[in-house]
Structure 1
Amino acid sequence: MQLVTWNINSLRLRMPHLARLTAERRPHVICLQETKVPNPLFPHEEVRQLGYAHLHYQGMKGYNGVAILSRLPLRAVEDLPLWCGRSDCRHVAADVETGSGAVRVHNFYVPAGGDIPDPLQNEKFAHKLGFIEETAAWFRKHPPRRSVLVGDLNIAPLAHDVWSHKQLLKIVSHTPPETERLLAWMEAGFQDAMRHFIPEPTALFTWWSYRNRDWRKSNRGRRLDHIWLTPDLLPALTDISVLKDVRDWERPSDHVPVCATLAL
């Protein structure tokens, strides 16, 4: 099973990108973040024409939005928490049928957190920290099995997940309050699939700012997109690929897709 996670930064705007990714990679499951499309306007027919007959999504106008597109049958997981008491379309989950049984797929879009890394001065940062604390506590209370957690988690937790650990320690996405909480969330039942194949100290990025005129030359990236597996699935992991070339496509997202291959 090939599974892709991708912050597409507007599904309707980048449908040609989704079609190209599908033609080139033919993943079985695609998890999208920042779809930015309300449920009634979700492009069902265009997505199904790409081969994804099984869909589960939550979206809103102009912001956020998450979707799971699957060639394999899936069953939506409905009894999920309302994180921080907000209906802001940041999490969906589904049980995807594979040859060896169902795998639960969680797809998250974590709040970005604004610019000021102080929860007293910045409500957005306080919301981000609270969101991560709630998710970690929930997974500790509901230990996951045969599960994959993916998404734009908006935090680069390790020293070589950013272009400069020293310079970004006070920049939202790499501050200690964020990285400590994210690692605690992962330790609530998951392992870092990307770093399993590409361990530290290798630099590993999935996001490059639009502000960089030549993103490849400057390479000021961050690893904001993640794939986590429960320990029972880790032996099935055969490959991790960061599809950097997608960042060069016309009018790209500032995130690139990450693909995991599991022998299931």
Structure 2
Amino acid sequence: MPFTLATWNINSVRLRADLVSRLLTEEAPDVLCLQECKSPVEKMPLEDFAALGYGHVVARGQKGYNGVAILSKLPLEDAGDKDFAGLGHARHVAARLENGVVIHNFYIPAGGDVPDREKNEKFGQKLDYLAEMRDWFNGDRPGKAILVGDLNIAPREDDVWNHKQLLKVVSHTPVEVDQLGQTQEAGGWVDVTRQDIPEGNLYSWWSYRSPDWDAADKGRRLDHIWATPDISNSAHGSRILRAVRGWDKPSDHAPVFATFDL
């Protein structure tokens, strides 16, 4: 059963419901994973999406912050969630498709502005969150699974617009990249996007602070699609919809897509 999956940090699903509907209409992924929904589940505009064929939903919400949702044309079973680092945040939810594939949707903490856990509590929370993910995967190694989301780290040199300038900027510091690498290795996760597009600069986020984000192109690849080795070879068709960043009143993230032949 082939299916196409997309992940997108929407930065408020209620504020940008029309953009979600546009993406669902124009691109029609079978599954769309959203992060930073900033809404309790009961206030998410799920009826709008159901009217477009996405009547299967597994979500965790939170007023004003965080929040993750999986919208699907395909039947889904709620597969639970984890509160990594004990933050009490809606940052993870999992769903199981009828073919047995489990989809994990993550919104890893951004980590604040200062890459020092002694000076910045949020940076410490980010590292702790990743460490607990790593330990979970070590203790219960995943199989037939896909992990997507805003992981808030651009691991490779060509995942950022300037590697040297960003080495001391949160999201690309060596300690974060190392921690993400340990987490990925613990689950045996394969970076599907880079499996499909192994070379070249690739970004999924551009700051709102840039007066002309497109021309400046100071992007980072913060949004990821990973798969376990038993299904990673079935993945193909990876792409990042850069043009979506230019839609009216957009999120600062662009959606990332991949197709799986399972």
TM-score by length of 1: 0.96
Does residue 72 of structure 2 align to residue 70 of structure 1? yes
Task: Tell me how far apart the structure 2 counterparts of residues 245 and 47 of structure 1 sit (CA, whole Å).
Answer: 21
Identify the residue that residue 94 of structure 1 maps to in structure 2. Answer: 95
Does residue 36 of structure 2 align to residue 34 of structure 1? yes
Identify the residue that residue 84 of structure 1 maps to in structure 2. Answer: 85
Task: Tell me how far apart the structure 2 counterparts of residues 44 and 24 of structure 1 sit (CA, whole Å).
Answer: 18
Verify the 8 A CA contact 2:101 2:144 in the aligned structure 1.
yes
Partner residue of 1:116 out of 106, 114, 126: 114
Identify the residue that residue 192 of structure 2 maps to in structure 1. Answer: 193
Task: Tell me how far apart the structure 2 counterparts of residues 168 and 44 of structure 1 sit (CA, whole Å).
Answer: 38
Task: Tell me how far apart the structure 2 counterparts of residues 122 and 166 of structure 1 sit (CA, whole Å).
Answer: 22
Task: Tell me how far apart the structure 2 counterparts of residues 37 and 70 of structure 1 sit (CA, whole Å).
Answer: 19
Query: Residue 257 of structure 2 aligns to a residue in which SS?
Result: strand
1:174-232 per-position Cα deviation (integer Å, ceiling 9, x unaligned): 001100000111112201001101113x0010000011111111110000000001111
Q: Aligned pair count? A: 259
2:218 is aligned with what amino acid? Answer: R
Aligned-residue CA RMSD (Å)? 0.9
Task: Tell me how far apart the structure 2 counterparts of residues 238 and 119 of structure 1 sit (CA, whole Å).
Answer: 38
Partner residue of 2:159 out of 152, 158, 161: 161
Q: 1:81 offset after TM fit, Å?
A: 3.2
2:197 is aligned with what amino acid? Answer: I
Q: 1:40 offset after TM fit, Å?
A: 2.4
1:129-174 per-position Cα deviation (integer Å, ceiling 9, x unaligned): 0000000110111111110000000000111100000000000000
1:15-70 per-position Cα deviation (integer Å, ceiling 9, x unaligned): 11111111111110000000001122122211211211110101111110000001
Task: Tell me how far apart the structure 2 counterparts of residues 197 and 181 of structure 1 sit (CA, whole Å).
Answer: 23
Runs of 4+ in 1 over 2 A off after TM superposition: none
Verify the 8 A CA contact 2:30 2:72 in the aligned structure 1.
yes
Verify the 8 A CA contact 2:83 2:90 in the aligned structure 1.
no
Task: Tell me how far apart the structure 2 counterparts of residues 242 and 27 of structure 1 sit (CA, whole Å).
Answer: 13
Task: Tell me how far apart the structure 1 counterparts of residues 242 and 54 of structure 2 sit (CA, whole Å).
Answer: 23
Task: Tell me how far apart the structure 2 counterparts of residues 160 and 235 of structure 1 sit (CA, whole Å).
Answer: 23
Aligned residues: percent identity? Answer: 52
Aligned positions of 1:145-184 closer than 5 A: 145-184=143-182
